[in-house]
């Protein structure tokens, strides 16, 4: 039976951006979450999601974006 050391990690992020050009303002808010499982020296598996909200006051456009993904790296 083979046993491997592994670690579980969690990463959270929050980003707020204000961009003022002339008399107009753009803003965006991005929140992210990532779960990582590593078997040391062999495997790295991560799943993540990022949600972004933004508003451009010059064009009066509101945006909502979502990014969801999975990443796998295997070493042997």
Instruction: Please write down the long-range contacts of 9-12, taking CB distance under 8 Å and 24 or more positions apart.
Output: 9/35, 9/36, 9/37, 9/38, 10/34, 10/35, 10/36, 11/36
Residue identified by tokens 């959270």 is 12
The model's confidence at residue 2, banded by pLDDT at 50, 70 and 90, is: low
CATH for 6-69? Answer: 3.30.1300
- pTM, two decimals, is 0.75
Sorted by where each begins, the domain ranges of the chain are 6-69
Is the Cα torsion angle 64, 33, 28, 68 positive or negative in sign?
negative
Interior/surface letters 28-40, b for 16+ CB within 10 angstroms, e for the rest: bebeeebeeebee
3-35: pLDDT as tens digits: 668 899 999 999 999 999 888 999 999 999 999
Q: Mean pLDDT over all residues of the chain? A: 92
């Amino acid at each position: 039976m083979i046993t491997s050391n592994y670690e579980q990690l969690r990463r959270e992020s929050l980003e707020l951006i204000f961009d003022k050009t002339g008399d107009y303002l753009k803003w965006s808010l991005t929140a992210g979450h990532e779960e990582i499982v590593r078997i040391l020296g062999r495997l790295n598996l991560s799943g993540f999601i990022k949600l972004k909200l933004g508003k451009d006051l010059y064009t009066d456009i509101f945006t909502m974006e979502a990014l969801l993904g999975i990443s796998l790296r295997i070493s042997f």
